[in-house]
Structure formats: C-alpha cells, structure tokens
Amino acid sequence: MKKYTDVDIVAELQKLVDSHVDSYKEDFDIDKRIIRRAAESRNPEGKTLMWFCRPHGTHCLNENQVFIQGTRDHNTFRFYAEQTYDECVARVIVPKAVKRGKVFGDVFEINYREQAANVAQNSVAPDHDRLTFADGFVLEAPCRSSFDAAMALIGEHGGVKTHQTLPKDADALVEVLSKQKSRRDRLPEADRTEALSPLSISELRKYEAVKKAHPDALVCFAQNGYFELYGKDAEKAAPLLGTKLLEKKVRGKPSMPVTGFRESAWVAGSHKLWKSGADVFLSKDGETFKELKAADYIPVGATLNVDGIKCRIDAVDFAADEVRLTNIEDKNRPIRFSESIQYVRSYVEDAGTAFYDTIPKKPAARESIRDKLKSAQKAQPPHTPKPQKLKGKDMEL
C-alpha cells in the first residue's frame, strides 16, 4: 500500500474508474461534486472521504460517518464486502485545495475488504441526527425519526442541506479516526513518475497532430497533472531532466518510451530542456501552453553588455557549453573570446526583452531588373487585336 500526496485527486481516481468500472460510470460525476465540496469545506469532520469502485459503480462516503454504526455511509461501505463477491478497489482521500479548477490533496491506498472488517469492528454507537436546512435552521432528532421530522419542516425551512449522525461517545470516535490517520500517514510515498496513466487513442491523435505541427521541438503533452514526452523526445529529454525513461501504455497500440515532469514544475522542467539548445513546445487542453524557441535562449547576432563590455554574440555551441562573442567597443580592434552558456544566459536574462531588438534584421533578397520585367510581362493582360470597321461594300452579300 502507498500514498500519493498533493496530487490531482480526480485524475488519480479516474484511472481506477477506467480500469475497474464497466457500467454506471456516471456515479463518478456525483463523487466529483462531493470531493470538491470537501476541498472547499471548513468543517474538519467532512474533509476525509472513503471512496471505492466496483464493476457496477462508485461510492464516495464521509469517513466520520462510516465509523458510526447504522449510518448510510457505514452500511454502504460494509455491504459489498459482506454481501457480495464484487471486486472493489478502495482509497481514502483527503481533498485540500482547488487549484486551476482541479482538486488537489492526498490519496491513500487501502484494501477494501480488510477496511470493511476494520469498520465493522471499530465503529462507535450513534446518538442522534443533526440536520441543517436551506435557511440555516438546525434540527436535532433521534436517528429513527429524523427523516419524518425533516419532511414536516421542508415547507417552512427549505430542503435539507446537511445530514450528520452524532456519536454517543465523541471521544471514542476521535480516537478511532486518529488511529486510522496514523496508519495512513505511515504508508510509503508512491513513485509519482511511474504512476503515469495509459494514453487513450483520442489523446494520442491529439499529440500526433501537435508533434506534426512542431516536428523539431521537444513536445511536452499535458496528461493527468504531468507534461509528458514520448518516443525519441522522451529518450532525449530523460537525461536532461534527470528522470526515468519508462514505457507508456497506449490503448490498442504498442507502448512507447515516456518521461516527463509535473505541471506545477513546468518552469523548471521546460527550462532544463530549453537550455540544451532545443525548441520546447508545451501543449495543454489542445492549446499552446508555452513555446520556447532555441534561437531565443542566446540569440546569435544580438548585442549584449557582458560585465560592462559591449559584445556581439557570434555563435553558440550547446554541446561544448560555449558561446563565442566579439568585443565591439573598439570597431578597429575587435576582440574575440568565449564564455559558458550559463554565464552568458544570466546577462541575457538581465537585459530583458529589449535585448532581442538588437538582433540585426536579415536584408531582403534583391530582385534583378530582368526578373522584375518578367514579372511585369506576366501581370499584363494578353493583347487582342481591335476588330476592323467594315465598309459598306464589304457588308454586301
């Protein structure tokens, strides 16, 4: 068992839905809303969720309620372990924040049947229900009669917004949940890179279209919280990034080499690739996320002040880590010298975008007079002779 910290929770669970759920996958849409509400909630009792999927659907339950006997969450979690032979895959999830429209938090692997037995053995007795209505009115009633009592008040206070069962012994529940958390926190951290999900055919086609449009660039393709590179791009990028070269599964096709970096680390990741002298193109959701041209890293021909000396960049050799420059302060006595790429790049960054305006523009190709005459002749309309005016006798038959 492992844990995944600070990950895109929905993306992690989606992998399990794709591989384990055959029908009623739309249940997961309900789970997504529950997960988002938990991330946005300030109530600590609603922050930890117990999620599991089976061949015919998914369930997302409140851990606090799962460990109170007789609740809907408690009964649901135990049912499929005790009453069916369904193959269930379970996770404990702790949503923490919504960033860029995605819910980030921690995901913990658990054995579903072992956890169901744990719930059956360690749950505490219920005391009463607490229901909060749309207008803020709170009803506290015995568990068996709370539903009927709520129905009688809906007309006056609106629908029931939250329904929570409180335990007889609150301290006992706190102790049970504390032990669960301690056990989870001791799980080893999962290898993030090796958790990359398979690539669907539709996503593969999108990637191929991007790669075709940018054949010479290292294309970084956004997938499930990562920017991934495939094939030869991956083979070139892995040593530059210091990452492993893995095999990416592609549905219905042979697997291919893959490497990458997390979306949140795109600045550092793309910079490592860019400083190798490669064009780097980052694609996300079918759009250009970032494009870095190798020629912009250290632009040849530009004028740069290096340590107070006005210089011209003559050439860049990325393999040799060398930039060749010319001191042009004295036009009559130009002095040529070399510096490392990192050293020169620091001055490029200090100079800012205005530095790129110093790159000399290439002169436009001159067209010869002969070529201009040929073009002019082609542009003229074809000559057609004017019809002659017939005289009277020529008109006689």
Shared domain for 240 and 155, answered yes or no, is no
Range of the domain at 158: 126-166
Asked, for residue 337, whether it belongs to a domain, the answer is: yes
Shared domain for 176 and 145, answered yes or no, is no
Shared domain for 218 and 134, answered yes or no, is no
Look up the CATH number of the domain holding residue 255. 3.40.1170.10
Q: Which whole number is the average pLDDT over 262-283?
A: 93
Shared domain for 9 and 113, answered yes or no, is yes
375 pLDDT above the threshold of 50: yes
Name the H helices within the chain: 9-20, 27-40, 63-66, 72-82, 112-122, 146-157, 170-185, 201-213, 231-241, 266-274, 294-297, 341-351, 369-379
- Per-residue pLDDT band at 372 (split at 50, 70, 90): low
pLDDT at 371: 67
pLDDT at 394: 46
pLDDT at 381: 62
Tell me, letter by letter, the H, E, C secondary structure of 286-353.
Answer: CEEEEEECHHHHCCCCCEEEECCEEEEEEEEECCCCEEEEEECCCCCCCEEEEECHHHHHHHHHHHCH
169 sits in the region (left: phi over 0; alpha: psi -120 to 50; else beta) called beta
pLDDT tens digits, residue range 155-192? 889 988 888 899 999 999 999 999 999 999 999 888 65
Asked, for residue 266, whether it belongs to a domain, the answer is: yes
